């Protein structure tokens, strides 16, 4: 992402910055003031309705450029941010998960045996996210 206008006065840049798809369908991402790769990271949430909202910054956000950090989606739906300066931060999405993305068991064998191998098929959330963002 490049040259996102947060307000009429500030233009931010997210060159090589991390982003994570939240269970709600929103996207958490990092960006900084222009020019690209400038120190002073801020965090934003992008919604399928094309709105961008700034959220709380990481404790060391003022000391790093956005490309320096990593985001990992945890099984809980939380986002783990590693700014690589000796700290880890967790982002909690205040929005509920998208129920359309909940796992569904379509079928299961009548008998399951201990030690046997079974194939588990799952629908990929990325397709649902892609379709939602196209709206």
Rounded CA gap, 20 and 29, in Å?
6
Residue with tokens 């909690």: 92
Please check whether residue 62 is in contact with residue 42, taking contact to mean a CB–CB distance below 8 angstroms: no
CA distances from 19 to 9, 45, 53 (A): 24, 9, 14
pLDDT in tens, the chain (135 residues): 444 444 444 557 777 889 999 999 999 999 888 777 788 888 999 998 889 999 998 888 888 888 888 999 998 889 999 988 888 999 999 998 888 877 777 778 888 889 888 776 655 555 555 555 555
- Tell me, what's the pLDDT at 45? 94
Rounded CA gap, 125 and 23, in Å?
9
Please check whether residue 23 is in contact with residue 77, taking contact to mean a CB–CB distance below 8 angstroms: yes
Which pTM was predicted? 0.70
Pull the structure tokens for residue 121.
């098929």
- Tell me, what's the pLDDT at 3? 46
Three-state helix/strand/coil letters over 55-74: ECCCCCHHHCCHHHCEEEEC
């Amino acid at each position: 992402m490049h040259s996102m206008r947060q307000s009429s006065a500030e233009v931010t840049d997210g060159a090589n910055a991390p982003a994570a798809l939240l269970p709600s369908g929103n996207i958490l991402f990092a960006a900084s003031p222009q020019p690209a790769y400038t120190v002073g990271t801020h965090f934003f949430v992008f919604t399928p309705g094309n709105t961008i909202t700034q959220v709380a910054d990481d404790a060391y956000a003022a000391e790093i450029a956005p490309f320096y950090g990593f985001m990992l989606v945890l099984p809980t739906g939380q986002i783990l941010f590693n700014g690589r300066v000796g700290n880890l931060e967790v982002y909690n999405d205040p929005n509920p998960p998208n129920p359309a993305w909940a796992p569904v068991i379509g079928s299961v064998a009548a008998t399951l045996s201990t030690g046997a191998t079974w194939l588990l098929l799952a629908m990929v959330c990325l397709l649902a996210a892609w379709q939602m963002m196209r709206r």
